[in-house]
Amino acid sequence: MTVSSQQSEVRSLKYIFWRRFKKNRLAVFGGVIVFILFTVAILAPFIAPHGPDVIDVKHVLEPPSLQHPFGTDDLGRDILSRVIYGSRISLAVGFVAVGIATIAGIIFGALSGYYGRWADTVIMRFVDIMLAIPTFFLILAVIAMLEPGIWNIMIVIGLTSWMGVARLVRAEFLSLKEREFVLAARALGASDFRIIFRHILPNAMSPVLVSAVLGIAGAVLVESALSFLGIGVQPPTASWGNILTIGKDNIEIAWWISVFPGIAIFITVLAYNLLGEGIRDSIDPRLKI
Partner 1 sequence: MITYLLKRLLEMIPTLFGITIISFFIIQLAPGKPTDVLADLNPKMTPEARERLTKYYNLDKPIHVQYLMWLKRVVKLDFGDSFSTDRRPVWTKIKERLSITILINSLALVLIFAIAIPIGVSSAVHQYSLYDKITTMLVFIGFAIPTFWLALLLMILFGVNLHWLPVSGLKSLGYENLSIMGKIWDSVSHLILPVTLEAFGGLAGISRYMRSNMLEVIRQDYITTARAKGLSERKVIYKHALRNALLPVITLLGLSIPGLIGGSVIFENIFGIPGMGQLFYQSVMMRDYPVIMGILTIGAILTLLGNMLADIGYALTDPRIRAR
Partner 2 sequence: MYRTSHIAYRVLHILLPFITFLITAANCAKIDKEANAAQLTNNSTAPAAYGDTLVEGTIGEPSVLIPMLAGDSASQNVASLVINGLVKYDKDLTLVGDLAESWDISKNGLVITFYLKKGVKWTDGVEFTADDVMFGYKTIINEKTPTAYSEDYKQVKKAEVIDRYTFRITYEKPFAPALGSWGNLIVLPKHLLEGKDITKSELGRHPIGMGRFKFLKWTPGQDVVLEANPGYFEGRPYIDRYIYRVIPDPATMFLELKAGGIDWMGLTPIQYTRQANTAYLEKNFKKYRYPVPAYTYMGLNLCLRRETKTGKCIEKHPWFGDKRVRQAIAYAIDKHEIVDGVLFGLGSPATGPYVPNTWPYNPNVKKYDYNPEKAKELLADAGWKDTGIELPHWLPSLFGRMLKWAGWNIKDGVLDKDGRSFEFTILTNQGNTVRINTAVIIQRRLEAVGIKINVRILEWSTFINEFIDKRRFEAVILGWGLGLDPDQYDIWHSGKTKEKEFNFVSYNNPEVDALLEKGRRTFDMEERKKAYFRIHEILADELPYIFLYVPDATPIVHARFKGIDPAPLIGMGYNIDKWYVPAGQQKHKITQ
Q: Which amino acid is at 161?
A: S
Closest Cα to residue 76, out of 263, 224, 229, 246?
246
Q: What separation in angstroms does the CA of 250 have from each of 134, 154, 205, 255?
A: 31, 29, 46, 7
Piece of 14-22, 87-95, 140-148, 200-208 that binds partner 2 (CB under 8 A): 140-148
The count of other CB atoms within 10 Å of the CB of residue 209 is 14
Backbone angles phi, psi at 161, to 5 degrees: -120, 15
The mark string for 221-260 relative to partner 1 (x by CB under 8 A, - otherwise) is x--xx--xx--------------x--xx--xx-----x--
Closest Cα to residue 115, out of 192, 205, 180, 203?
192
Ranges within 71-130 binding partner 1 (CB under 8 A): 125-126, 128-130
b/e burial code for range 109-120 (CB count within 10 A of at least 16 → b): bbbbbbeeeeeb
Give the residue with the Cβ less far from partner 2, 24 or 250: 250
The mark string for 125-164 relative to partner 1 (x by CB under 8 A, - otherwise) is xx-xxxxxxx-xxx-xxx-xxx------------------
Q: How far is the CB of 145 from partner 2 (least distance, A)?
A: 9
DSSP structure string for 47-95: H-SS-TT---GGGTTPPP-SSSTT-B-TT--BHHHHHHHHHHHHHHHHH
Ranges within 270-289 binding partner 1 (CB under 8 A): 270, 273-274, 277, 280, 286-288
What is the binding site for partner 2 (CB under 8 A)?
53, 55, 57, 60-61, 74-76, 144, 147-148, 230-231, 234-236, 246, 248-253
What is the binding site for partner 1 (CB under 8 A)?
26, 125-126, 128-134, 136-138, 140-142, 144-146, 217, 221, 224-225, 228-229, 244, 247-248, 251-252, 258, 262, 265-266, 268-270, 273-274, 277, 280, 286-288
